Structure 1
């Protein structure tokens, strides 16, 4: 059985036992995660989602958090007053091993859904803030405010 899943803006065709390098996920090594955005499930019968297959999931185990190959970005301006600049970048990736492809019953599996780091930051930002404690007013301002009220 195989599945086509979507994560990190990319699509991957996977089956049990595959090892993938995906965009960084908010998980630690050894943690079991579940991809819920499944576009297609194949095997004895083919199921195509609109846009996702309901109840389908891919369960995986995080192997490690790694960095990809270095990409060099070189800029050169020709002729007079020329300059050049070299920048490098290594993308943060997560190495995962696919454990199982579930065609149905993903809701009752009890495995945490895979979320990217951007999703985790967005959720933390949108969460309700803790109780805000107001700082006491400065003495000069308190004195001026009391004088103004009298």
Structure 2
């Protein structure tokens, strides 16, 4: 016979969210306030396709991104990227005015309808550590 845990035991254990993400409150839909006063924000990144871009465009995009990241040049900001690989049954909406791209899109839509497609979503996480010295960070 399997021994059952008392309900009190479950209440005493931290939830999975509290174990890995020690937050105190949601400030809005995208920003979370952490227990130590840090602010954490998550953004889903919509990108540009690089498949048809010229080398000059790729270099310009890379330089723009590097300049943006360098502007965060402070000890108080940390940036992470996360890739979420998941299954999707939706085919992306598209609109083409020319015949061949429209025909190719319709062909691909028929071919992929009902199939298991995998999608990669890119997320950007920004952590802002509050300005202050270590004495202000002592949990109380």
TM class by smaller structure: under 0.3
Q: Which has the larger radius of gyration?
A: 1
Q: Which structure would you say has the larger RCO, counting Cα contacts within 8 Å and 6 or more residues apart?
A: 2
> TM-score by structure 1 length?
0.22
Q: TM-score w.r.t. structure 2 length? A: 0.23
Q: Which has the higher strand share?
A: 1
1 or 2, which has the higher helix percentage? 2
